[in-house]
Amino acid sequence: MQIFVGLGNPGAKYAGNRHNIGFMALDRIAEDHGFGPWKAKFQGQLTEGRLGREKVLLLKPETFMNLSGQSVGEAMRFYKLEPGDVTVFHDELDLAPGKCKVKTGGGHAGHNGLRSIHAHIGEAYRRVRLGIGHPGRKELVAAYVLHDFHKADQDWLDDLLRGMSDGAAHLAEGDPGKFMNAVALRTAPPRSSKAAAKPAVETAPKPVPEDSASVADTRNPLQRLADKFR
């Protein structure tokens, strides 16, 4: 069994925020893979289902971002799981919008949700880092992450969420490479060339057959006169 955790803040006020992309990821996975109804449990919303061969719990902490670790730690201890059984989906300022990377362990880079999870279960859990870009200055970060995605962001956001749902079973089965490939097929699909390939060697024009009318007459007048009597 595994737990996929999506980070965000509860309530309609925050639903469309950049900080809530983790909630959005779990909502898409639950919908596409036929998970059961969400239920209030472990200070959050919980649903369960299967991804590939794996049983997976989806958990959205409702403690607000800064206390996310309380919910995650409670669920992990109840099911007697280890930090390595936990995958956290979260917003990442240091990645360009629409980018996605998977890592295990490491620091929290100032992310308050990860900071709280570190405090409750340690750092040896897996993270799916979802790029939202950076506003440019540190003092703008709080307002930026608590602001809704712009209308212009909806296309790449939808592609990213669909890609993660497509690859969710690979992630649950321990193959982050195949998960990333599934994301890439949505966010950066291969382009097919419509232009016909040019021949490597140009074809020489066919020779025109020569006939008597087209051959130049190089005889002198005396030879032409003599030929008439032959």
8 A C-beta contact, residue 28 and residue 112: no
Q: Mark whether 19 is an active-site residue.
A: yes
Burial of 230 per CB tally in 10 Å (0-12, 13-18, 19+): exposed
- Residue linked to tokens 């956001």: 157
Four-CA torsion 134, 129, 27, 30, nearest 10 degrees: 170
19, 90, 111, 170: which is the annotated catalytic residue?
Answer: 19
* Contact residues for 157 (Cβ-Cβ < 8 A; gap 6+): 21, 24, 98, 149
Q: With residue 21 as reference, give the H or E element that holds it.
A: helix 21-32
**Could you give the residue numbers annotated as active site?**
19
